Structure formats: structure tokens, C-alpha cells
């Protein structure tokens, strides 16, 4: 018998999450039946969407939603032998039983010198999001200027690096001096700390006086309203997320951007990476190749210990992470 520890949402978040919103539950798992496997979490992901999803689809007492990189430790399913690794969306739990249907094996020939945790980051969902946002949504072309916010995070850092691979000028914003230094290290042409500038409008204008062809928006809210004003005519916006409003208990009010969008004839597309799931196999190989060639730096912010899942999640929402926020069990 194996004991599974899970983090449950005891109380719906009201504003920014707090320690008391989470509790640990322990349960004995049965032996896997024919066709089933027993999984042990190695790395768990903490992502912004968990904050939104909890409000939309979870009830109090549910295990927190989430994805992990797990090892098969018992198997009665020949497709998943003992010792193999999978990505699974079984939530914030140390052990789980699966019939294999929802499991994604890690890419064949995963190099030994590349941490498997990247399957939750730059060579996983956030990396795919950056790639699809650039190629499928924006159709970013060589010589264009791209703006990305939350640029030092999991998605943003991949976005900026792919845009540089494609021969573009890249401007990034992030919330600390250490993050700005990281963006410069990654090859961003311009980077600024949005928390310390006196005017976002001025910072954006200084970074690219001629405006922006493309905007990869991770933040939403006031930032987006100001950035839209500096798009070029026929500019394109990939609306990836809006983390600045995820913790709001009441909708924020702000300026209405519709006249700007109309006047500049902007194209704005909201998207999820899952729209291009059929391309994931090929896309992951491309991300891995860039990583191995040193063109894609895959920085991670690793928190040790399953007991620290809530702290890691809240830290990511607060901006503690440079690169992908991960928990190592």
C-alpha cells in the first residue's frame, strides 16, 4: 500500500491566496489493477491558470488542479513500464493511479543531461505556448519589433528567445532588476522594470520609438491598455493571459481600448496552446533542439519539498520566480 499526500483547496481564494486556503490530505492507494499504473511525482508545476481554474471549476475540498512529471513505480500496463516517465494532470499529489489514457510519455530520447523538469516548462506546456503564440497567432516575421510582458517568466522568457532566433527586435518588461539583467543575458534588445519606471508610456516609447508590430500579452489590465496605444497600424496582439487581474475579487475598471483597436486596425487573438495539440510532438523536438544548441536558455525557479507547494504557487503569483516555477518533491 502506498500513501498519497495531496494538497486540497479548503477555502476558495478571496483575493491573493493564503496558507489557510490549503490543507494536506493523506489517503491509502489500492494496488493498481490490470491496465493501471502507480505513479510517483518527481516534479510538480505551479502555474497562473490554477488561480483562475479554482474559481471556475473547483469546489472546496477538491485536490488542487495541476500537472506533474511522474515516474511509473508499479505497472500493469505494458505501454508504461516501471521506470518510465510521464506528464500527467493528476493535481497536487505525490502518488496516483492511472489507467494510462490521460498520460503523456516524455519525448523519446530525452537527453540524459537535460532535466526532466523542463517537460513542465520550456520543453512543455509553457514553451509550446510561447512557440504557438509567435508562429500560429502572431506570425512574427524577421525584422519586426515584439513587446512581451512578464518576460522573465516561463512563457515570456521563451517568447523573447524565439523572437530573437527569428531575427526580431525584442522589448521585455519584468518586475525586478534581477529579472531585467536576466532578460539582457537572454539577448533582449531592451528590458525595463515596470515596477520602478515613472511612466510605462515613456518606457515603451523609449524602447521602441517607432512602435510595435507585435505584442505578446501575458499581463492584461492597465499594462495592455497603455501598450495598445503604441502598436503600429495593423499591429498584432497574442493575448496569452492576464495575470494582473487573476487575483481580483471584483473586476477592475479602466480605460476602454476599443477606439484604439479600431483606429489602428489591430488584430487581437486570445488563445490556448491546446489549439495546436496535433503539432506538439514536432514542436517539442524543435524546442529541445534549440535548448541543446544553446539558443534557448531554460531557467527554472525550483522550490524543494512537496510540503511547500502552496508557498511555491503564491511565490509565482507574487513574481518570485525567474524562469519556470517548479516544485521538486
Enumerate binding residues for ligand LYYGC724 (CB under 6 A): 48-49, 52-53, 56, 125, 241, 272-274
Looking at beta carbons only, is 29 or 65 nearer to ligand LYYGC724? 65
Give me the DSSP letters along 144-194. -EEEESSTTBHHHHHHHHHHHHTT-EEEEEESSHHHHHHHHHTT-SEEEET
Dist CA 236 CA 164 (whole Å): 18
Looking at beta carbons only, is 196 or 274 nearer to ligand LYYGC724? 274
Cβ contacts of 4 within 8 Å, gap of 6 or more: 26, 27, 28, 29, 93, 94, 95, 96
User: Which of ligand LYYGC724, ligand NDP, none is residue 155 near (CB under 5 to 8 Å by kind)?
Assistant: ligand NDP
**Which DSSP letter does residue 153 get?**
B
271 lines the binding site for ligand NDP (CB under 6 A): yes
User: Which of ligand LYYGC724, ligand NDP, none is residue 153 near (CB under 5 to 8 Å by kind)?
Assistant: ligand NDP
319 lines the binding site for ligand NDP (CB under 6 A): yes
Q: Which residues pair with 173 in a beta bridge?
A: 192
User: Which of ligand LYYGC724, ligand NDP, none is residue 53 near (CB under 5 to 8 Å by kind)?
Assistant: ligand LYYGC724
Given the rule CB under 6 A, which of 2-10, 100-108, 205-213, 267-275 is the region that contacts ligand NDP? 267-275
Q: What is the grid cell recorded at 227? A: 501598450
147 lines the binding site for ligand NDP (CB under 6 A): no
Minimum distance from CB of 22 to ligand LYYGC724 (Å)? 19
123 lines the binding site for ligand NDP (CB under 6 A): no
47 lines the binding site for ligand NDP (CB under 6 A): yes
127 lines the binding site for ligand NDP (CB under 6 A): no
Cβ contacts of 236 within 8 Å, gap of 6 or more: 137, 138, 139, 213, 214, 215, 266, 267, 268, 269
Dist CA 39 CA 216 (whole Å): 36
* CB of 291 closer than 8 Å to CB of 122: yes
Q: Which residue is nearest to ligand LYYGC724 (CB)?
A: 49
Nearest alpha-carbon partner for 153 in 243, 222, 225, 92:
243
Q: What is the grid cell recorded at 54? A: 479554482
Element spanning 287, H or E: helix 280-292
* Among the listed residues 41, 243, 298, 314, the single contact to ligand NDP using CB under 6 A: 243
Looking at beta carbons only, is 37 or 191 nearer to ligand NDP? 191
User: Which of ligand NDP, ligand LYYGC724, none is residue 319 near (CB under 5 to 8 Å by kind)?
Assistant: ligand NDP
Q: What is the grid cell recorded at 146? A: 515584439
Q: What is the grid cell recorded at 281? A: 510532438
Minimum distance from CB of 192 to ligand NDP (Å)? 11
**Which DSSP letter does residue 21 get?**
G
Residues that bind ligand NDP in the complex, under the rule CB under 6 A:
47-49, 126, 129, 150, 152-156, 174-176, 179, 218-219, 240-244, 271-273, 316-317, 319, 321, 325
Amino acid at each position: 500500500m502506498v500513501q498519497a499526500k495531496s494538497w486540497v483547496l479548503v477555502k476558495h481564494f478571496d483575493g491573493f491566496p493564503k496558507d489557510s486556503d490549503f490543507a494536506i490530505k493523506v489517503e491509502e492507494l489500492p494496488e493498481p489493477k490490470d491496465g493501471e499504473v502507480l505513479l510517483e511525482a518527481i516534479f510538480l508545476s505551479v502555474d497562473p491558470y490554477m488561480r483562475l481554474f479554482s474559481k471556475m471549476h473547483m469546489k472546496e475540498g477538491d485536490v488542487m488542479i495541476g500537472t506533474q512529471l511522474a515516474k511509473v513505480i508499479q505497472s500493469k500496463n505494458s505501454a508504461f513500464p516501471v521506470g518510465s516517465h510521464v506528464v500527467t494532470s493528476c493535481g497536487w499529489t505525490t502518488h496516483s493511479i492511472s489507467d494510462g489514457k490521460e498520460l503523456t510519455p516524455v519525448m523519446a530520447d530525452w537527453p540524459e543531461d537535460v532535466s526532466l523538469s523542463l517537460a513542465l516548462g520550456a520543453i512543455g506546456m509553457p514553451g509550446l505556448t510561447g512557440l504557438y503564440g509567435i508562429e500560429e497567432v502572431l506570425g512574427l516575421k524577421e525584422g519586426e519589433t515584439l513587446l512581451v510582458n512578464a518576460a522573465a517568466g516561463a512563457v515570456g522568457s521563451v517568447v523573447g528567445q524565439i523572437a530573437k532566433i527569428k531575427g526580431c527586435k525584442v522589448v521585455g518588461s519584468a518586475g525586478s532588476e534581477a529579472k531585467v539583467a536576466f532578460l539582457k543575458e537572454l539577448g533582449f534588445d531592451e528590458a525595463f522594470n515596470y515596477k520602478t519606471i515613472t511612466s510605462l508610456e515613456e518606457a515603451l516609447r523609449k524602447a521602441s520609438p517607432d512602435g510595435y508590430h507585435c505584442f505578446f500579452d501575458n499581463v492584461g489590465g492597465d499594462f495592455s491598455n497603455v501598450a495598445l496605444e503604441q502598436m503600429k497600424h495593423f499591429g498584432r496582439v497574442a493575448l496569452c493571459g492576464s495575470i494582473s487581474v487573476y487575483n481580483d475579487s471584483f473586476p477592475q475598471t479602466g480605460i476602454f481600448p476599443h477606439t484604439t483597436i479600431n483606429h489602428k486596425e489591430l488584430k487581437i487573438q486570445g488563445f490556448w496552446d491546446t489549439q495546436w495539440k496535433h503539432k506538439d510532438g514536432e514542436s517539442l523536438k524543435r524546442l529541445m533542439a534549440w535548448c541543446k544548441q544553446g539558443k534557448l536558455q531554460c531557467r527554472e525557479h525550483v522550490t524543494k519539498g512537496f510540503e511547500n507547494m502552496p508557498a511555491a504557487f503564491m511565490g509565482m503569483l507574487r513574481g518570485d520566480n525567474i524562469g519556470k516555477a517548479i516544485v521538486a518533491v
